[in-house]
């Protein structure tokens, strides 16, 4: 098990290969559909004018995400009224929904890792090679356990998106993941898809 702390260097990323087990520590940011769409439209493709605190949040994200990790997670959070935030559940959500956005977000913010479940596609894999970055697969069905690795919730952006879709800035310790897409073009998800298709084709041919 490799222990890695954010911010992560290119050298550390390039040393990771598909199948490596990793315990992540440091600061990461949660982001799902609404956040990715907002980042793309407002700051990357600029098809939407910044509104409210968008520019202030953008400046903070440029620092927070540089060398860090995005976690596809819709957490259950206590303390919303008092702002004494605590993660009660922090399981990964399905990553493929972010496929249209992820590579562009990684390159723009220099994100070194993405955590989720289910893997991602060819566009993100190419983005992992170019940034460079990796995709980390987290344990599905272990939301309560993963929440225990969150030792601090330091900030939250775009809470108007709703608690699951907001961008939570968290500090984790020994968050367990497995590299399933690396910066060298390796993808365990592509291998599984190909082998599954082969089996399906053989069954249909009978």
Structural domains present in the chain: 2-205 (3.20.130.10)
C-beta of residue 136 within 8 angstroms of C-beta of residue 114: yes
Tell me the β-bridge partners of 117.
94
- Given this model, what pLDDT does residue 188 score? 80
Average pLDDT per block of 10 residues along the chain, 206 residues long: 97 96 98 98 97 97 98 97 96 96 98 96 96 96 95 97 98 97 86 47 57
C-beta of residue 68 within 8 angstroms of C-beta of residue 9: no
Q: Is 200 helix (H, G, I), strand (E, B) or coil?
A: helix
- Given this model, what pLDDT does residue 192 score? 46
Spatial neighbors of 31 by CB under 8 A, at least 6 apart, are: 39, 70, 71, 72, 105, 167
- Given this model, what pLDDT does residue 143 score? 96
- Given this model, what pLDDT does residue 205 score? 67
Residue 13: closest CA among 151, 95, 155, 130 = 130
Q: Tokens for 183?
A: 């910066």
| Catalytic positions, written as ranges | 36
């Amino acid at each position: 098990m490799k222990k890695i702390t954010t911010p992560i260097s290119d050298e550390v990323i390039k040393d990771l290969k598909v199948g490596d087990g990793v315990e992540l520590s440091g600061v990461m940011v949660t982001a799902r559909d609404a956040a990715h769409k907002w980042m793309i439209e407002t700051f990357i493709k600029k098809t939407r004018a910044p509104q409210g605190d968008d520019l202030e949040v953008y400046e903070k994200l440029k620092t927070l995400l540089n060398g860090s990790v995005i976690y596809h997670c819709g957490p259950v959070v206590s303390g919303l009224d008092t702002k004494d935030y605590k993660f009660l559940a922090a399981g990964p959500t399905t990553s493929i929904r972010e496929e249209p956005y992820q590579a562009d977000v990684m390159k723009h913010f220099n994100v070194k890792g993405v955590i989720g479940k289910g893997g991602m596609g060819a566009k993100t894999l190419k983005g992992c090679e170019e940034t460079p970055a990796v995709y980390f697969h987290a344990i599905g069905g272990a939301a309560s356990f993963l929440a225990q690795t969150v030792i601090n919730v330091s900030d939250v952006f775009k809470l108007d998106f709703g608690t699951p879709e907001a961008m939570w800035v968290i500090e984790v310790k020994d968050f367990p993941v497995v590299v399933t897409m690396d910066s060298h073009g390796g993808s365990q998800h592509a291998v599984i898809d190909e082998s599954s298709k082969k089996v399906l084709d053989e069954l249909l041919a009978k």
